[in-house]
Amino acid sequence: MSVVVVGAGLAGLTAAADLAARGVEVTVLEARDRVGGRTHGIEVAPGTWVDAGAAYLGGRHTALTALMAELDLKTTPTTMTGDSRFALGSTQTGDQTRPGRFPPLSAVALGEMFDALDELTGALRADAPWLSADAALLDTRTAAEWAAEHLRHPDARLFFPLFLGEMMAADPADVSVLHMAFYLRSGGGVRYLNAFAGGAQEDRIDGGAHLLCQRLAAGLGERVRLGEPVRAIHQDDDGVTVVTATASLRAGAVVVAVPPTLADAIDYRPGLPVPRSGERTAPGCAVKVHLVYPTPAWREHGLSGWSVNARGPLLSTVDDSPADGAVGVLTGFVTGGEAHRFAELSAEEQRERAVAQAARLFPGLPQPIGFHATDWVNEDYSRGCYAALFGPGDWLRLGPHLVTPHRRVHWAGTETSTEFFGLMEGAIRSGHRVAAEITTEITTEIITTHERRDIHV
């Protein structure tokens, strides 16, 4: 049986590599003129690449770590030594420099907030959040409504949207309480997701996360076809026809490995019994900014480069300088509603505002020698990031069908993984899962054909 894979992100390429290794004839159709999807590298100085998309990983990301070993990729630790900067805008706190990463806000209030989130996430069924005891209730309300009801202290109210922006690139009004709780649980819990040392942001991939897909694609060679946006998938009794802007391919099965709203943009015949996204499914919203300096000058002042800010555009910053110290790279995250506002600005305005804010945060910085803003909000073939955000009603409606094949059409992508949903790890796990699903189908088909022949004989 031949298989067409739609999308050359981590999920699609992992699935294709697994299938090819099992001797299946596979073709990957990718809309963009590059592989990688939401992993994307940009060269900010000769030989220095930074992650414009996904970057960080931790020890629990076992499928990713195994893939890196196969592809001969190494990690580099995320640098986090020195004091942090906080510009939380409240009159009591002002701008502050602090050791560690805990913000200058009420420890009791933030502790209560994290405990409340822990309680929510702990009560969920991680493998099937729609079957959790309170799923129906949690799926009717937004995270913003939950915060208004549960977070009494002004410091918790101030910090909550910043936390959600950083963790999920989400505006609290866009996600259901069920989705927020599920996402935090799926990623290993509030504290694991939020941590650098010993947590989900401990390391980066040496040379950039885009190397994962580049190396997977190199192994697949001509089986990967770029610039082929899939428009239609039509099934009949004998197989599937996959239609792109320029070609039409026949296959025995198809893997659709694209984000849910993009999966819904494809014309299926017969039509899908249940769509891949709902009316309230929102794109995550982030613009990732890289400011490049001759050196990581903040380190000379005892600062780590980490900052958290109540006002944008940069709601947080982190030191993403290369290990060899060739240049200093400060990465800024513009998330939630701030990302939409920032995306509307001209390139010049974006640069001016980001540079000015970095200079306020880290006094003594020289003028940057490079500036890059990667706008995921307006990427046609991502439609937001880090991952789709399920709004009220989505999980109860879509959850039970997340991985159910539509006849010969199978589903992959980080948004189909209940483990590490939204992360590279989830994408890779979904690729392995779908390849195993199809292999089982092929084996069953072969056995059935043999049995039929035996009966006939």
Ligand X SMILES: Cc1cc2nc3c(=O)[nH]c(=O)nc-3n(C[C@H](O)[C@H](O)[C@H](O)COP(=O)(O)OP(=O)(O)OC[C@H]3O[C@@H](n4cnc5c(N)ncnc54)[C@H](O)[C@@H]3O)c2cc1C
Question: Which positions lie near ligand X, rule CB under 6 A?
Answer: 6-12, 29-32, 37-39, 53-57, 229-230, 257-259, 262, 266, 286, 288, 376, 381-382, 385-387, 413-414, 422-425, 427
Q: For residues 88 and 385, which CB has a smaller minimum distance to ligand X in the complex? A: 385
Q: For residues 262 and 361, which CB has a smaller minimum distance to ligand X in the complex? A: 262
Query: How far is it, in rounded angstroms, from Cα 294 to Cα 328?
Result: 6
Q: Shortest gap between Cβ of 341 and ligand X (angstroms)?
A: 17
Q: Which two tokens stand for residue 87?
A: 């510009």
Q: For residues 309 and 331, which CB has a smaller minimum distance to ligand X in the complex? A: 331
H or E stretch covering 274: none
Q: For residues 155 and 375, which CB has a smaller minimum distance to ligand X in the complex? A: 375
Query: How far is it, in rounded angstroms, from Cα 423 to Cα 194?
Result: 13
Q: Shortest gap between Cβ of 35 and ligand X (angstroms)?
A: 7
Q: Shortest gap between Cβ of 253 and ligand X (angstroms)?
A: 16
Query: How far is it, in rounded angstroms, from Cα 333 to Cα 318?
Result: 9
Q: Shortest gap between Cβ of 238 and ligand X (angstroms)?
A: 23
H or E stretch covering 397: helix 394-398
Q: Shortest gap between Cβ of 187 and ligand X (angstroms)?
A: 9
Q: Shortest gap between Cβ of 92 and ligand X (angstroms)?
A: 32
Residues 6+ apart with CB under 8 A from 152: none
Q: For residues 19 and 424, which CB has a smaller minimum distance to ligand X in the complex? A: 424
Q: Shortest gap between Cβ of 211 and ligand X (angstroms)?
A: 13
Q: Shortest gap between Cβ of 71 and ligand X (angstroms)?
A: 15
Q: Shortest gap between Cβ of 204 and ligand X (angstroms)?
A: 8
The answer to whether 2 touches 26, Cβ cutoff 8 Å, is: yes
Query: How far is it, in rounded angstroms, from Cα 24 to Cα 3?
Result: 7
Q: For residues 254 and 327, which CB has a smaller minimum distance to ligand X in the complex? A: 254
Q: Which two tokens stand for residue 346?
A: 């001209």
Q: For residues 16 and 266, which CB has a smaller minimum distance to ligand X in the complex? A: 266
Q: At residue 307, what are phi and psi to the nearest 5 degrees?
A: -145, 155
Cα 447 to Cα 3, 187, 196: the distances in Å are 19, 39, 49
Query: How far is it, in rounded angstroms, from Cα 134 to Cα 146?
Result: 14
Query: How far is it, in rounded angstroms, from Cα 168 to Cα 414?
Result: 13
Q: For residues 189 and 259, which CB has a smaller minimum distance to ligand X in the complex? A: 259
Q: Which two tokens stand for residue 316?
A: 């947080």
Q: For residues 43 and 300, which CB has a smaller minimum distance to ligand X in the complex? A: 43
Query: How far is it, in rounded angstroms, from Cα 102 to Cα 388?
Result: 28
Q: For residues 95 and 264, which CB has a smaller minimum distance to ligand X in the complex? A: 264
**Among residues 56, 69, 67, which one has the least CA distance to residue 432?**
67
Q: Cβ-count burial of 76 within 10 angstroms (0-12 exposed, 13-18 middle, 19+ buried)?
A: middle
**Among residues 405, 412, 409, 407, which one has the least CA distance to residue 434?**
412
Q: Which two tokens stand for residue 61?
A: 């990301």
**CA dihedral in degrees (38, 343, 293, 215; nearest 10)?**
10
Q: For residues 85 and 383, which CB has a smaller minimum distance to ligand X in the complex? A: 383
Q: Angle at which helices 210-220 and 62-70 pack, to 10 degrees?
A: 50
Q: Shortest gap between Cβ of 48 and ligand X (angstroms)?
A: 18
Cα 210 to Cα 8, 35, 216, 320: the distances in Å are 12, 8, 10, 15
Q: Shortest gap between Cβ of 431 and ligand X (angstroms)?
A: 7
Residue 229, number of CB atoms within 10 A of its CB: 18
